[in-house]
Structure 1
Amino acid sequence: MVSELRIGILGAGGIAERAMVEPAHEVEGVRVVAIGARDPERARAFAERWDLPKHGDYETILSDPDIDLVYLALPPITHAEWGIRALEAGKHVLCEKPLSVNGTTASAIADAAAATGRRAFVGFHYRLHSFTRRLLDVIASGVLGDIERVDVDFSIPHFVVKPGNIRLDGDLGGGAVMDVGCYAVDLIRAAWGEPAVESATAVLSDDDPRIDLQTDAVLRLSSGAPVHVRGSFIGDDQGAMSLRIEGSEARLAATSVIVPQWGATLRVSAGDGLLLEEKAAEGDNSYARQLEHLVAVLADGSPSILDVRRGVGTMRVVDEIYRAAGLEPR
């Protein structure tokens, strides 16, 4: 039973501010109390900037009895080590997505959660946004008829992921499928269950051939319908966070799916007729909704759509996409 969820962060990067510290200010029952970093000076500066009472190295956070949950804002290559250590220290764990670098290490986190009686989650925050819930409800409603084709394009503009970015570092588990493609896999599994990976091709980095700058994959739903997935660091100037579905009765188009608070839109049409047109509610922040969700499920023990076991399944599909593209899983 958790009355107030006290959170310690590992990793003093920008995602820790956007995904945890800032939204915590608008969520009741949660408080960020500590920041840990490899560089103590960086942790101190972060704590001063956000008025956090405690700071130190990673071990300082894990050994603090006044911390209930550890948020891993670290490169995915480190998630298994520090996630397991946090669980063994008696903390719940929220891993920034992806859950880990591959299905095997992701499963190790899930096994540690089961063994310690603590809970672990993966930060697919978009799933808690009202827009995403509405999107999944529309897909499940049958208004589209039989699904004939799905296209998911999650492409980051080419000028965003620059040389030196950790997402371009093979030693840290980088790559486009790891960074944005995992969202597509999670969404597909949420909407239709487990897909089969049929094929994939990748554009590789000249600087690190382990890194996919862009991967295009074809998956199959259990119905046999194809799903065309693109995860990319080399998108055009606008980029894309789009979902398109062709059904026997209607078609659906959604934008800003990964971050609905950035003006997500949903349209369903049939022929020349518009059946539905909606926009994401203003002021609804997916990271705040994620925190509210964690407070609730840790208070009453209820199931979570962010549960680590579900995240393991997503990483296993990511592994298969890399294998289909001729690459080794991370």
Structure 2
Amino acid sequence: MTKTIKWGILSSAKIAENSMVPAIHSASNSELHAVASASGKAAETAASWKAETSYDSYEALLQDETIDAVYIPLPNALHKEWAIKAMHHGKHVLLEKPAAVTSEDIQEIREAGKETGMTWMEAFMYQFHPQHAFVKEQISQNVIGDVRRIRASFSFNLDLDSSNIRLDPELGGGSLYDVGCYCVHVSRFLLDAEPTHVFSDGRYKDGVDISSTALLTFDEADAVLDCSFQESPLNRYEVVGTKGRIEVPFAFRPDQNPNDGLGEVFVKGEDGAVTKHETFAADQFTLQIEHFSQCLLDGTAPSYTPESTHNNMKVIEALYTSQQQSSM
């Protein structure tokens, strides 16, 4: 019985090159078999990424029967099409976030998974980092009392005059889709709940939100979220309780922490003094690949479910609807 999963990658996207390719190579149960690129440089990319073979079309890669699973980092609007095609070719799918641009699209992906028997998961890599398990442990042990508020931010500076796909409404561009989705996800993840009401507003350029602010109301807590393409880099969250707070300064990209790329968690008491400071060394991309690959080898379901992916997109859709309704 095979002990490793053979991976294929659809496209030569930077997220694949910088993060997922090294993760596959470092994972104990995975190997990079092939890459497909429509740019005409598939062979060059495969050599650079140390993949065994290359294909000049996505369809050709999907026809390779030796590939067990594919990672899809295509533009957001193309996720549904190629995820469904991949599963109908007998491939399991790790789908870059957001899994699609509407909840209806995600439901179609879910149905394809059920029809084909293939496993798929949205690639919210951050949740596999051990710093978040520590945070959830502190919450469950009532260290900060009852959680009343979550604040989450994810932003960076993007050239708004560039041809970046994040700025193309036809390809699923927008800050809420790109980085705000993490803020939505972490609020649901930490509270183990779904919001009952949402409100959002955004700043737009050429049909996409370049900044968004949102309020999610849960039964016992609120989440205040913000994301942007026009602010200095920030990726953090704070959990506020009745007896203290927890701060995670590099929540979604701990590798950007100047302190050796460590995950860090600060627990503070009511007086604001730090009562615990823990650091965590881990590669969340590798942990994600190892988790998904092991699920395929064991025939078990990933910890992050299609249902949760569907629910995350329903919240994002509601936030965009709120923005449309709030515009003058």
Shorter-chain TM-score tier = over 0.9
Decide whether aligned partners of structure 1 residues 2 and 234 sit closer, same or farther in structure 2, where only a CA change above 3 A counts.
farther
Q: Offset of 1:37 from its aligned partner?
A: 1.7
- Pick one of 219, 224, 229 that aligns with 1:222: 219
Decide whether aligned partners of structure 1 residues 176 and 30 sit closer, same or farther in structure 2, where only a CA change above 3 A counts.
same
Aligned to 1:246: 240
CA contact (8 A) 1:123 1:306 kept: no
List 4+ stretches of structure 1 deviating above 6 A: none
User: In structure 2, the residue corresponding to 1:25 is in which secondary structure?
Assistant: helix
Alpha-carbon deviations, 1:113-148, whole Å to 9, x = none?
A: 011001011101111111122222223322111222
More off after superposition, 128-137 vs 287-296: 128-137
CA distance in 1, matches of 2:7, 2:325: 37
Q: How do residues 1-330 of structure 1 correspond to structure 2 at under 5 angstroms?
A: 3-39=3-39, 41-56=40-55, 57-156=57-156, 158-159=157-158, 163-192=162-191, 193-205=193-205, 208=206, 210-223=207-220, 225-236=221-232, 239-263=233-257, 264-270=263-269, 271-281=271-281, 284-326=282-324
CA distance in 2, matches of 1:67, 1:79: 19
TM-score by length of 1: 0.92
CA distance in 2, matches of 1:2, 1:199: 48
Alpha-carbon deviations, 1:85-137, whole Å to 9, x = none?
A: 00011110010111111111011111100110010111011111111222222
User: What is the RMSD of the two structures over their aligned residues, measured on CA atoms?
Assistant: 1.8
Give the length in aligned residue pairs.
318
Decide whether aligned partners of structure 1 residues 142 and 2 sit closer, same or farther in structure 2, where only a CA change above 3 A counts.
farther
Task: For structure 2, list consecutive stretches of 5 or more residues without a partner in the other structure.
Answer: 258-262
CA distance in 2, matches of 1:316, 1:146: 26
Task: For structure 1, list consecutive stretches of 5 or more residues without a partner in the other structure.
Answer: none
Q: Offset of 1:233 from its aligned partner?
A: 0.8
Q: Partner amino acid for 2:244?
A: A
More off after superposition, 240-249 vs 111-120: 240-249
TM-score by length of 2: 0.92
More off after superposition, 302-311 vs 251-260: 302-311
Q: Offset of 1:16 from its aligned partner?
A: 1.2
CA distance in 1, matches of 2:126, 2:222: 24
User: In structure 1, the residue corresponding to 2:21 is in which secondary structure?
Assistant: helix
Alpha-carbon deviations, 1:172-205, whole Å to 9, x = none?
A: 0010010011111111111111113431110001
CA contact (8 A) 1:140 1:191 kept: no
CA distance in 1, matches of 2:128, 2:218: 24
Decide whether aligned partners of structure 1 residues 150 and 6 sit closer, same or farther in structure 2, where only a CA change above 3 A counts.
same
CA contact (8 A) 2:198 2:318 kept: no
